Amino acid sequence: MPDESRRLASVCVYCGSSNDADPRYITDAHDIGASFARAGLKLIYGGGGVGLMGATARGAHAAGGAVLGIIPTFLRGREQPFDDVETVIVDNMHERKMMMFERSDAFVVLPGGIGTLEEIVELLSWRRLDLHQKPIVFHNPGGFWDPLFELIRHTIDARLTPPTLADAWRAVEKAEDVTPTLLAWDEEIYQTGAPAALRQLT
């Protein structure tokens, strides 16, 4: 029988930290955070209280979910930590990203800017190098992430990226589909008995 200890317990969210984002994105982020809590998933996020980042944390917290924020010292003023949840202060961005990765069993990507792009490209690069096989789900309202997907497919067509990378993520249009998609993917991994080590950075 598969080992129950391998089941999905925590999810990291990458997303925008701007309060100027489309209000629909912020509402969706709040709803997605709440859906994590209802599914019993701990939210791991960048620690800020602004933009989609803060909305996701507030949604999870309001729904009774466990939340861990990780924020570097220099961003505390800019991203205004959400003090109602557990928050770890680290020295720099590299430490923040590594801790978010290590504490998470899966990843959800919401609309975001250059910082979110940097995080997801690194995550996909690590997947390309077989350093992890953690599920990655994009919330893709109105095709927000389609240009990124097209760029990756362009590099695949140019034989600069292996075709298997196109299977590294799943994308959904509706906020309510994010958590069910994540849980279904985890169930597939669980049923196939994929070793826990495949989810960890080596």
% helix, strand, coil for the chain, step of 5: 50, 15, 30
Please give the angle made by the CA atoms of 19, 23 and 100, to the nearest 5 degrees: 55
Residues in CB range of 74: below 8 A, 6 or more apart: 92
The CATH architecture assigned to 7-191 reads: 3-Layer(aba) Sandwich (3.40)
Helix (H) or strand (E) holding 138: strand 136-139
Q: What is the pTM of this model?
A: 0.90
Residues in CB range of 57: below 8 A, 6 or more apart: 33, 43, 45, 49, 67, 69, 82, 85
pLDDT in tens, the chain (202 residues): 334 444 799 999 999 999 999 999 999 999 999 999 999 999 999 999 999 999 999 999 999 999 999 999 988 878 788 889 999 999 999 999 999 999 999 999 999 999 999 999 999 999 999 999 999 999 999 999 999 999 999 999 999 999 999 999 999 999 999 999 999 998 887 776 554 444 444 3
Q: Please answer whether residues 65 and 72 qualify as being in contact, where contact means their C-beta atoms are separated by less than 8 angstroms.
A: no
The pLDDT, as a whole number, for residue 5 is: 44
Q: Please answer whether residues 3 and 196 qualify as being in contact, where contact means their C-beta atoms are separated by less than 8 angstroms.
A: yes
The single-letter code of the amino acid at 11 is V
Q: Please answer whether residues 181 and 32 qualify as being in contact, where contact means their C-beta atoms are separated by less than 8 angstroms.
A: no
Q: Which of 107, 118, 110 is nearest to 22 (CA)?
A: 110
Q: In 10 A of CB 115, how many CB atoms?
A: 16
The pLDDT, as a whole number, for residue 193 is: 59
Q: How far apart are CA 150 and CA 194, in angstroms?
A: 29
Looking up tokens 């109105």 gives 142
What DSSP designation does 41 have? P
DSSP 94-140: HHHHHHHHHT-SEEEE-S--HHHHHHHHHHHHHHHTTS----EEEE-
